[in-house]
Amino acid sequence: MLPSSAGETSAHESSAPYPTRSWATVVQRDLQVAAIIGDLYAGRPVVYTTFLAYDEVAHHSGIERPDALSVLRKIDRHFARIEQAAKGAPRPYHLVVLSDHGQSQGATFFDRYGMTLEDVVREACATDSIHAEEGGSNEAAGYLGASLTEAGSADNVVGRTIRVATKGKRVDGAVQLGEKSREATEKMREAAQEGQLPELSVMASGCLGLISFPREPGRLTLERIERLYPKLVPALRDHPGIGLMLVRSERHGAVAIGAHGTHYLVEDRVEGKDPLAPFGPNAARHVRRADGFEHAADIMVNSTYYANMDEVAAFEELVGSHGGMGGSQSFPFVVVPAGWRLPEQAIIGPDYMHRQMRRWLADLGHERYRDGAA
């Protein structure tokens, strides 16, 4: 089985996208295909890889621009190479193509409103003690760094060469590419050790924004946020570029708040206009899941979904984005051989997809992947 998924790229470092694009669309792609074919001929039971190229290009060019579609056509040709190679392998293989998400397009939050999410938070909280970072902005470099970390662990000439070449790029043994990413990690660590954490942290991943209060223990509730920063919740709730905000209430549990209504997720009731309605019938399920994360942000915001244009407003400077809800980013896909047993219900979320992949592996004879197996 050879699932393929997408990756990300850097947004604000002016020279970063294009070297990363060259790596993802040519060098890494060719290395991956060669490695897969080698594994097929070696008879590995399960093989997979991650193709970054389309996602890398679509972030900066747009999801249906000629250069993005050209990348897709080239990847398709490499799928054909892999499929042809599988016919000569010592065991049968099935080709599976899996996307981990889609992408949505649109003018960014800054382009639409002349200010960043950080600016909105800074003004409402009247503080300059803010750590701001685009969480998805360096993901392509992150994928490459992870690859180099893994390859550098090998006890051979290649591994030793990589370890020497990346010696100055490692944090806790892991390769971190991009000085901004590495320096930010070191600065935050030093600040934590010295008890100088910022008052607020604002991060972005596509049209998803994460707002946290590092100096406060645990996850802040809606009521405490309102006491500490009385202008913040109204500023986020009423901003035309923010479709909803997710917070945890002391009295009601998880609540999704919009400009014209509130969805009480634990109580399964809505007051006013449901802020989740524009994001589809499964939005509440996804938001409940996010609320249950152990390290969920104190406040999570999702940009407005402009249904008439099928667009979102990324909190990063990306033409195509993902991370939140709205538009085609919410529609990943999986292509499997005809005749495979399909689930009765729609596959919603990565947990369900993981379990389904295990079922398919078990159906092919890999019993250790059957539910309940160790």
pLDDT digits (tens, 9 = 90+) for 214-259: 999 999 999 999 999 999 999 999 999 999 999 999 999 999 999 9
- Residue 279: inside a domain: yes
| Environment class of 216 (CB within 10 Å of its CB; exposed 0-12, middle 13-18, buried 19+) | middle
Question: In this predicted model, which residue has the larger pLDDT, 149 or 38?
Answer: 38
pLDDT tens for 147-193 read 566 556 555 555 566 677 677 777 777 777 665 555 555 665 565 55
Whether residue 286 lies inside any domain: the answer is yes
Domain membership flag for residue 55: no
The per-residue pLDDT for range 81-133, each reduced to its tens digit, is: 999 999 999 999 999 999 888 899 999 999 999 999 999 999 999 876 767 66
Amino acid at the residue 7:
G
Separation of alpha carbons 101 and 99, rounded Å: 5
At a CB cut-off of 8 Å and minimum separation 6, what does 362 contact? Answer: 369, 370, 371, 373
Q: What is the pTM of this model?
A: 0.77
Summarize pLDDT for 128-154 with one digit per residue, the tens.
676 766 554 455 566 566 656 655 655
Domains contained in the chain, number: 1
With respect to residue 230, please indicate whether it lies within any of the assigned structural domains.
yes
Asked whether the CA dihedral 351, 356, 358, 359 is positive or negative, the reply is: positive
pLDDT value, residue 175: 72
Strands 97-98 and 334-335: antiparallel
**Would you say 98 and 368 are in contact if contact means Cβ atoms under 8 Å apart?**
no
Residue 241 falls inside a structural domain: yes
Domain boundaries, position 239: 105-138+198-322
Q: What is the mean pLDDT of the chain?
A: 83
* Mean pLDDT computed over 16-33: 63
Q: Would residue 57 count as lying in a domain?
A: no
**Any domain includes 240:** yes
Residue 364 lies in a domain: no
CB neighbour burial string for 254-287, b if at least 16 within 10 angstroms, e if fewer: bbbbbbebbbbbeeeebeeebbbbbbeeebbebb
Spatial distance between the Cα atoms of 141 and 218, rounded to a whole number of angstroms: 31
